[in-house]
């Protein structure tokens, strides 16, 4: 099992959280997604290390950005 953490920029409500959760959950290998609206934290759990680019693309597909750095 592997986990990766990101910070999502631009989320303002529960709908935002649901959109990010739905898109990131569709990334191959992802088994769990935890999004914290208050901090913008995104924790992705997967069976093997997940493709960082795929997670970032999924967040962008939901309409948000992953903070750099």
Mean pLDDT of 40-65: 96
What residue numbers bound the domain in which 26 lies?
2-66
pLDDT of residue 60: 98
Residues 6 or more apart whose Cβ sits within 8 Å of residue 33:
20, 21, 24, 25, 42, 43, 44, 45
pLDDT of residue 25: 98
Here the CATH number for the domain that contains residue 57 is 3.30.70.100
| Domains contained in the chain, number | 1
For residues 31 and 17, give the distance between their C-alpha atoms in angstroms, rounded to a whole number.
17
The chain-wide mean pLDDT, for the chain, equals 96
pLDDT of residue 69: 63
Mean pLDDT of 57-68: 96
3-class secondary structure, 28: coil
List, for residues 17-36, the tens digit of each pLDDT value. Answer: 999 999 999 999 999 999 99
């Amino acid at each position: 099992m592997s986990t990766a953490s990101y910070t999502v920029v631009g989320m303002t409500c529960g709908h935002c959280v649901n959109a990010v959760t739905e898109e990131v959950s569709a990334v191959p290998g992802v088994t769990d997604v935890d999004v914290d609206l208050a901090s913008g934290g995104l924790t992705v759990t997967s069976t093997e290390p997940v493709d960082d680019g795929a997670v970032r693309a999924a967040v962008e597909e939901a309409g948000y950005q992953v903070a750099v750095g």
